[in-house]
Amino acid sequence: MIIFTAVLGFVLTSLGFGATSALAAGESLQGTLINAGQPVAGVVINVSDESGTSAGKATSGADGKWSVTVKGAGTYKVDLDTTTLPQGVTVTNGRPSLTLTVFEGAARNVLFPLGQAAAPGSKPAEPEGSSTADRVFDLIYTGIHFGLIIALAALGLSLIFGTMGLTNFAHGELITFGALGCFLLNVTVGLPLVVSGILAVVLGGAFGWFQDRVFWGWLRNRRTGLIGMMIISIGAALVLRYVYLFAFRGDTKQYAEYVAQPGMDLGIISVAPKNLVMDVVAIVVLLLVSLALTMTRLGKATRAVATNPSLAAASGISVDAIIRLVWTIGGALAALSGVMLGLFQGVNYQMGFQILLLVFAAVTLGGLGTAFGALVGSLVVGLATQLSTLWIPTELKNVGALVVLIVIILFRPQGILGRRERIG
């Protein structure tokens, strides 16, 4: 089985499925200019990188749409040339210039709210300007928001590791499964995004149950070693990733709803309402799952299996049933993480693979097999990832999270909330 999976992954790569850079659309900035429900054409948009060098230029078309392909992930400044706006039309929030971060392989949507120009004699909008403090507060919120998304996936991965001891490298494809399932239901089928997201989470849980029922459970019954199962998970990740590529292609897609929303002014930061809703949902789900693990009989059975499977089985607990339940919960949590990540930065066939390293870092940092540790580790990783861009290029921001991981593991090998264990 191990040899078959490795050979299949090699064959797929040899056939060109591994050439992701050629098939993916790459990073870009895009938007649609609308005034009073009508598209605004002929408006010039200039994009520059952090050094001030021009990164591209676009003019809105008859449908109001514009797009600029950039050289890679990073922070870019987007300037709307107000002199090209139709007479009497202005940017209503007084911000014709925005500084935005483009993630790897993602198309970042840019929103310039347009409306009628202010009447003569009214108070002019405050000049655009972004202080270091404003950027720090924005990065702190973005880090917490990103950390909560990671935490959903990390909690599922931590539960699977806790009950099986398996380091599952295919967990990133469970994240992608949720995002692509939601996209299919929302864009192709035409269901509302909220309904599509809920159904995608249900499908993610069913996919996790199915995997354990027909694949991982069979390997357990054959007493396949953990090293062998880990290698198989790498092959499974490759197979699933390129199945997604074949079915959905390599470009970054967007949901049909809530793609671009005007931010709510919260004083020190401006946050889109969809992000606040996602934060609340993530916090509620994480708390409910964590409390269920500590306060319910099913949670106690899960912890018993994680602590000592043989003793749990001798006590009358069905170990296979508990592990299958954990795979179901893990698949649902990963799918929810994928739905939110797709709303945050777009849907792409390799989005789960791109954050898998951060998910592993969060689980290890918080303490392997601990639910609350996964949450704490994810928040640390999210904040470290975003705040590191104050000193290093955005392309290297993941290094910040990994440096924090290395430093903490050097002084606390069991992780932040992990327990010391005697070996030997």
Which tens digit of pLDDT belongs to each residue from 226-237?
A: 899 999 999 999
Q: Which residue has the tokens 């269901």?
A: 191
Q: Give DSSP secondary structure letters for 242-283.
A: HHHHHHH-SS-B--SSSSS-PPEE-SS-EE-HHHHHHHHHHH
* pLDDT value for 386: 85
Q: What is the pTM of this model?
A: 0.74
Of 332 and 424, the one with more pLDDT:
332
Burial class (CB in 10 A: 0-12, 13-18, 19+), 126: exposed
Answer whether 252's CB lies under 8 Å from 105's CB: yes
Residue with the bigger pLDDT between 235 and 93: it is 235
**pLDDT for 45 beyond 50:** yes
What's the pLDDT at 133?
75
- Which residue from 178, 187, 182, 186 is spatially nearest to 336, judged by alpha carbons? 178
Q: Would you state the structure tokens that stand for residue 90, as one six-digit string?
A: 């202005």
pLDDT of residue 194: 93
Question: Nearest Cα to 326, choosing from 175, 204, 201, 159?
Answer: 159
As a whole number, mean pLDDT of residues 163-184 equals: 92
Average pLDDT of the segment spanning 158-168: 87
Mean pLDDT, residues 203-212 taken together: 94
Q: Which residue reads 């003793």 in tokens? A: 311
Percent of the chain with pLDDT over 90: 26
